[in-house]
Amino acid sequence: MVVFRVENLDIRFGSAQALRGVSMDIVSNEILSVIGPSNSGKTTFLRMLNRMNDLQPNFRMGGSVTFGGTDIRKIDVERLRRKVGMVFALPLPLPLSIFDNVAYGPRMHGVRGRVALAERVETALRHAYLWDEVKDRMQESAFKLSGGQQQRLCIARTLAVEPEVILFDEPCSGLDPISTAKVEAAMMKLKQSYTLVLVTNNVKQAARVGDRTAFLLCGDLIELGKTDEIFTAPKDKRTDGYIRGMFG
Amino acid sequence: MSHPYRAQKIAFAFLLLATLVILVSVGFVVVVIVQKGAPAVNWQFLSDIPRQGMRAGGIFPAIVGTAYLVAGAIVFALPIGLLAAIYLSEYAKDNALTRIIKLAIVNLAGVPSVVYGLFGLALFVVFFKFGVSILSGSLTLGIMILPLIITASRESLESVPQSFREVSLSLGASKWQTIQHIVLPNAIPGILTGTILGVGRAAGETAPILFTVAAFYLPQLPGSIFDQVMALPYHLYVISTQVPNVDEKIRYGTAFVLLALVLFVNLVAIVIRYKFRMKKKW
Amino acid sequence: MRKLWEFVIEKVVLICGLASILFVVLIFLFLLREGLSVFKTVSPGAFLAGKSWYPISEPPQLGILPLVLGSLVVTIGAAIISIPIGVGCAIYIAEIAPQRLKEILKAGIELLAAIPSVVLGFIGMVTLVPLVKNLFDLPTGLTALSGSIMLAFMAMPTIVSIAEDALYSVPKAYKEGALAMGATHWQAIWRVMLRAASSGILAAIMLGIGRVIGETMAVMMITGNAAVIPHSLFVPVRTLTATIAAEMGEAVIGSEHYFALFAVGIVLFIISFAVNVTADLFLHKRQ
């Protein structure tokens, strides 16, 4: 089932063009990896899906992006962002307790009552593989957690609003290998219930985790296909060059 | 010593001297007032009304009057100032209108205090017919401290990291929810500091209240906001220049109370600012 | 439901954002409303350049030149004293004072700025005025000189804090470049940093002077209040601000005197507007 349909997407910030004529479908319960060198437009593309680009000044869009059949510009942006969650590159806990961090989203959406909130928080933390490590210190400040734990907290925070899609913007760039492995394991499990889009600078991570992989270069979508095919027999010379580390 | 190093020694000596001149003068002013004023201040002085044409007795009505005026000024200036700061920090775009607003704030901050007095007279006392009253005085003082509150609040709001807002919005919260639950709570120390500094400023100003509220001699406490009051800064002015033969102790005592009030308020603001800077979690 | 509440509150926020523009316009408007009436009695030329200010004589003489010159003399005197000391102190705090001392010094300067002007006026009256009288053997110590000295101390905190900010924001690379070429610390400051921070320092000076021009109480208590054209620093003068403060109490609402004082207010408002806008331009130029 098609979750996102992107057709001829052009994105400009003022006079700078970030994306040019990108078209693709994102289907449910897949992990789509998006790779490419810096400034290729990967993050811009990702932020389009939950309309975070709206926050940038001079943002202009051409083409269309539909979510579940409806143009995302016509969907109420707060409802879109509930359904399409995001985990950022650096762990960004809010200056609140662990519990309040995870409960923040549901609270803003009107979930009241300690029991209801506590249930959501626990479920989310379990799915992010963090529950066991924090269940006894829910009232502590989130800043007391390690980097890897904070990032899993951010995943839990996103899960707590019960989205359909989760966007990951280079989520492991600040993490050590063990934390990275934990985050990747969480992602593989999450695939069963959610659709994931992963932007990553780490080509090997894309190969490990993604079902399909998209390669962006300077704002153009060069190639999109099953991860196995892309990594063993890429159709475009540039894809091949990037994967083999010839440039980046 | 070679030439450039000698020049440096002389220059640095001059700079140190400049700094000392300022510090010694501040110290001198404070010491003189404390030395001559503190002995005059006792419970009687603070709680008694002025007697014998203000040559004796205490300054209680002036203290109460100042308290009312400052409270009124804050009640007016804090909500408007805070919301204006929220507008500038969270909503305003980088365009001509915003530049004009910022220019207007700079100007309000620079208007001479006596011109505020004229304005208060023309608008509140005469045009709105509030008369010479606490209402007129408070509103005038309120407009005067508005730029201070706006600036301090705006700086505090802007210092909240942008990433917090992004996280909140990405979870589907609305802009105002983000402001209410994330931005404002983390900006409170700065807003508080600004408000307290505003209190100090409003308490010490004379010119804005000269024609809008200040009473020369009014031993009774005010009954409503349409009454006049005495106020500490005006009282000090009156007993220093308008009333002959006031005991020196009373003059210094009044100066001491006013100075102590203002310095205390500013000290509280500085301490709050320092403590929260240490405690900052991000 | 929540959406409606948010819509309302965002409109209220916008209105408050525009409030400062509203107040500036209101102030100017009401000053004009009351002040322009004076030009029915006296022409603008006679008002601005007239040498006699006797508002309660019959007919009233409404020339503000003595007041303008009074303000000017006192302001220039204050500038001469406060600029070198203020900028010097700013350099000391920014570049030479050890770290711990810096915070204490800055707090001390902030406290000076917080002292109410009526308190400074009072202290000036009882200490500075007799001092000036005895030192220069004058008939009275209530002079422009006393006013200048006192106002200089009121301008200094503004000059020090803004100039110190300006020096602090000079990129370290400038100073380090100079030092690397063998300059002494002082040479680096004098030749490189002051030049780099010049527009900020200029803004600091302008804002300090702006504060001096607008000062009322301290000036009223120590410059003597003689509305005559001053020919030296050692005589009593009257500033524009003191005139309003001293005479408004006696002026009948709606009389020519009343309108004249508002006209003086217009002059003050325009002067402070000009100074503040220019200073702000300088402050933003360096950014």
Average pLDDT over residues A137-163: 92
Return the structure tokens found at A73: 């510009």
Asked if C89 reaches chain B (Cβ–Cβ under 8 Å), the answer is: yes
B194 touching chain C per CB within 8 A: no
Is C64-285 in CATH node 2.60.40.10? no
Q: Give partners of A (≥3 CB pairs < 8 A).
A: B
Identify the three-state secondary structure at position A62: strand
Q: E strands, chain A, where? A: 2-13, 16-27, 31-35, 59-67, 70-71, 84-87, 165-169, 195-199, 212-217, 220-226
Instruction: Give the amino acid at C145.
Output: L
- The chain C residue lying nearest B259, using CA atoms, is C115
B177: nearest CB among A86, A94, A108: A108
Q: What pLDDT, on a 0 to 100 scale, did the predictor assign at position B282? A: 66
- Put simply, the answer to whether B112 touches C18 (Cβ < 8 Å) is no
Determine the Cα–Cα distance for residues C213 and C236; give it in Å rounded to an integer.
Answer: 17
Reported confidence tier of residue A165, pLDDT bands at 50, 70, 90:
very high
- Predicted confidence band of residue A57 (pLDDT cuts 50, 70, 90): confident
Average pLDDT, chain B: 90
B145 to chain C: closest CA residue: C20
C-alpha to C-alpha distance for B22 and B39, rounded to whole angstroms? 27
Write the pLDDT tens digit of every residue in B176-234: 999 999 999 999 999 999 999 999 999 999 999 998 998 888 888 888 888 888 999 99
Which residues in chain B are closer than 8 Å to C179, comparing Cβ atoms? none
pLDDT value, residue C61: 83
Asked, as a colleague might, if the bond just before C84 is cis with ω within 30 of 0, I would say: no
Q: Which residues, in sequence order, are CB contacts of B152 under 8 Å at separation 6+? A: B190, B191, B193, B194, B195, B197, B198
Residue of chain C whose alpha carbon sits nearest to that of B251 = C122
| Pair type for strands A31-35 and A195-199 | parallel
For B:151-180, CB contacts with C below 8 A are 174-176
Q: Are A49 and A167 in contact (CB under 8 A)?
A: yes
| Side-chain-facing half-sphere of C10: CA atoms under 13 Å | 15
Q: Does residue A152 register a pLDDT over 70?
A: yes
Span B242-259, average pLDDT = 89
Cα Rg of chain C (Å, integer): 23
Dmax (CA) of chain B: 74
Read off the pLDDT of each residue in C142-167 and give the average, rounded to a whole number: 92
Pairwise CB contact (< 8 Å): B18 & C85: yes
- Distance (Å, whole) CA B187 – CA B157: 5
Shortest CA gap A224–chain B (Å):
27
Residue ranges covered by each domain of chain C: 2-35, 64-285
B109 near C CB under 8 A: yes
Size of interface A-B (CB pairs under 8 A): 64
Which two tokens mark B116?
């505020």
Work out the percent of chain B whose per-residue pLDDT is above 70.
99
Cβ neighbours of A92 in B, within 8 Å: 163-164, 166-167
Residues C108, B207: C-beta atoms closer than 8 Å: no
| A76, A81, A145, best to mutate vs chain B, most B CBs in 10 Å | A81
Cβ-Cβ contacts under 8 Å for C273 (sequence gap 6 or more): B107, B110
Asked whether residue B164 carries a pLDDT value surpassing 80, the answer given is: yes
Could you give the CA distance from residue B28 to residue C120 in angstroms, rounded to a whole number?
Answer: 11
DSSP SS3 for B183: helix
Residue B1 pLDDT class (50, 70, 90 cuts): low
Closest residue by Cα to residue B59 from B261, B275, B253: B253
**CB contact (8 A) between residue A92 and residue B181:** no
Cβ atoms < 10 Å from Cβ of B43:
8
Contact of A106 with chain B, judged by CB distance below 8 Å, is answered with no
Would you say residue C30 has pLDDT above 90? yes
Say if the Cβ atoms of C265 and B118 lie within 8 Å. Answer: yes
Burial of A218 (0-12, 13-18, 19+ CB in 10 A): middle
Cβ pair A33, A198 in contact under 8 A: yes
User: Within a 10 A sphere around the Cβ of A95, how many other Cβ atoms?
Assistant: 18
Question: Who has greater pLDDT, A77 or B281?
Answer: A77
> Using one digit for the tens of pLDDT, what is the confidence trace for B43-63?
888 888 888 877 888 889 899
At position B259, the amino acid (one-letter code) is: L
pLDDT of A234 strictly over 70:
yes
Token duo for residue B225: 């906001």
Cβ(C124)–Cβ(C222) below 8 Å: yes
Question: Of C224 and A25, which is predicted with more confidence?
Answer: A25
Helix axes A98-108, A147-159, angle to 10 degrees: 20
B120 CA: distance to closest CA in chain C (Å): 9
pLDDT of residue C286: 56
**Residues whose CB is less than 8 angstroms from the CB of residue A21 and which lie 6 or more positions away in sequence, other chains included:** A8, A9, A10, A63, A220, A221
Tell me which DSSP letter residue C128 carries. Answer: I
SS3 of residue A200 by DSSP: coil
Q: Which of B268, B231, B261, B200 is nearest to B69 (CA)?
A: B231
- The structural domains of chain A, ordered by start, are 2-243 (3.40.50.300)
Rounded to 5°, the CA angle B80-B144-B258 comes to 120
Is B219 in contact with B49 (CB distance < 8 Å)? Answer: yes
Contact: C23, B176; criterion CB under 8 Å: no
What is the rounded average pLDDT of the residues C118-146?
90
Cβ distance C167 to C204 under 8 Å? no
Determine, for residues C248 and B117 on separate chains, whether the beta-carbon distance falls below 8 Å. Answer: yes
pLDDT at C83: 94
pLDDT interval class at B31 (50, 70, 90): very high
Q: Which helix (H) or strand (E) holds C62?
A: strand C61-62
Tokens of C76: 């220039």
Which of B2, B118, B217, B259 is the best substitution to test chain C (most C C-beta atoms within 10 A)? Answer: B118
Which residues of chain B are within 8 Å of residue A143 when distances are taken between CB atoms?
281-282
How many residues are recorded in chain B?
282
Residue A67: its pLDDT value, please?
Answer: 93
What is the mean pLDDT of the segment spanning B137-149?
95
H or E, element range at C83: helix C65-91
Which subunits count as partners of chain B given 3+ CB pairs below 8 Å? A, C
Q: Which residue of C has its CA nearest to B237?
A: C118
- Secondary structure (H, E, C), A146-170: CHHHHHHHHHHHHHCCCCCEEEEEC
Q: How many CB pairs under 8 A join B and C?
A: 257
Q: Which residues pair with C224 in a beta bridge?
A: C237
Q: Which residues of B touch C244 (CB under 8 A)?
A: 114-115, 117-118
Query: Average pLDDT of C154-175?
Result: 90
What is the rounded distance in angstroms from the CA atom of residue A224 to the CA atom of residue B19? Answer: 68
Could you tell me what percentage of chain C is helix, strand and coil, using 3-state DSSP and rounding each to the nearest 5?
75, 0, 20
Mutation target among A43, A55, A165 for the B interface, most CBs of B within 10 A: A55
Q: Which domains does chain B have, with CATH numbers?
A: 60-279 (1.10.3720.10)
| B176 in reach of chain A (CB within 8 A) | no
